[in-house]
């Protein structure tokens, strides 16, 4: 019987050992390696070819998200399952957007562990309904932001200026940072007001925040 080869990437030894012990109770799986961070995982993958990776997100040296991005850049198509905790929804959503096939809470039961891994290896994405809704919400928000950029058509300089304005910087401070004259900043602000359909600095900041053009 061919076993599915698993790589566990987590900076906590107790998590790696716990998952390994559970997986070894199932004859379908074989843990072929462990890594404490993404950098170690990438080096391991250069020489080995796991069928699936269990990936923590919060790790020193190289995080799970950075590792997923690096694997995508290298066109490595090994399915990834995110290892997460109860308070990491935002990170988990970002990981799923990058192509992870599913997620597991670190205290998950053995049957959920086996089922999620098998689904990932088959190329399926296994998500709970609440996480699916969050993922769809994140995609809708991103689409809205891209639509806002296209609608208002602010330049990079204008975005920099309105972002600085939102943080309370004065025109002369912005001018100094950008290496331009203060009157040029004022001219940019006038263009921003026209594009956003507002009349004041406060309104411009409010609309920019509402539309996702800038963030505090």
Q: Under DSSP, is residue 48 helix (H, G, I), strand (E, B) or coil?
A: coil
CATH number at residue 183: 1.10.10.10
**What string of H, E and C letters represents the secondary structure of 172-189?**
HHHHHHHCCCHHHHHHHH
Taking the C-alpha atoms of residue 20 and residue 54, their distance in angstroms, rounded to an integer, is 11
Residue 188: inside a domain:
yes
The answer to whether 9 and 56 are in contact (CB under 8 A) is yes
pLDDT tens digit sequence for 81-120: 999 876 667 777 788 888 888 888 888 888 889 988 998 8
pLDDT tens sequence for the chain (216 residues): 789 999 999 999 999 999 999 999 999 999 999 999 999 999 999 999 999 999 999 899 999 999 999 999 998 889 999 998 766 677 777 888 888 888 888 888 888 899 889 988 988 776 655 555 555 655 555 555 555 555 678 888 999 999 999 888 999 999 998 999 999 999 999 999 988 888 888 888 888 888 878 877
Cβ atoms 3, 30 nearer than 8 A: yes
Largest CA distance in the chain: 75
Structural domain count of the chain: 2
CATH number at residue 78: 3.40.50.2300
Return the pLDDT at 215.
79
| 85 and 167 part of one domain | no
- Same domain, residue pair 78 and 168: no
Structural domain boundaries enclosing 205: 153-210
Shared domain for 10 and 70, answered yes or no, is yes
CB 100 within 8 A of CB 91: no
pLDDT in the model for residue 156: 87
Predicted TM-score (pTM) of the model is 0.62
Residues 93 and 26 in one domain: yes
Q: 46 with 130, same domain?
A: yes
Task: Examine residue 90 and state whether it is found in any structural domain, yes or no.
Answer: yes
Instruction: Centre a 10 Å sphere on the Cβ of residue 102 and count the other Cβ atoms it contains.
Output: 23
For the chain, state the CA radius of gyration: 23
DSSP letters, 192-212, are HHHHHT-SSHHHHHHHHHHTT
Residue 140 located in a structural domain: no
Residue 195 domain-assigned? yes
């Amino acid at each position: 019987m061919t076993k599915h080869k698993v790589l566990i990437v987590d900076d906590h030894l107790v998590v790696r050992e716990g998952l390994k012990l559970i997986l070894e109770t199932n004859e379908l799986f074989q843990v072929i390696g462990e890594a404490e961070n993404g950098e170690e995982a990438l080096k391991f993958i250069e020489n080995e070819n796991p069928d699936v990776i269990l990936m923590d997100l919060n790790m020193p040296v190289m995080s799970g998200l950075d590792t997923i991005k690096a694997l995508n850049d290298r066109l490595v198509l090994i399915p990834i399952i995110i290892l997460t905790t109860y308070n990491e929804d935002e990170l988990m959503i970002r990981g799923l957007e990058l192509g992870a096939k599913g997620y597991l809470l670190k205290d998950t039961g053995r049957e959920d562990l086996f089922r999620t891994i098998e689904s990932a290896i088959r190329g399926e994405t296994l998500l709970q309904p609440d996480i699916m809704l969050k993922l769809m919400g994140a995609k809708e928000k991103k689409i809205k932001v891209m639509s806002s950029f296209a609608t208002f058509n602010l330049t990079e300089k204008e975005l920099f200026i309105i972002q600085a304005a939102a943080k309370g910087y004065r025109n002369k401070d912005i001018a100094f940072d950008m290496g331009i004259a203060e009157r040029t900043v004022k001219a940019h602000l006038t263009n921003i007001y026209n594009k956003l359909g507002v009349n004041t600095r406060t309104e411009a900041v409010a609309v920019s925040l509402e539309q996702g053009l800038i963030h505090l």
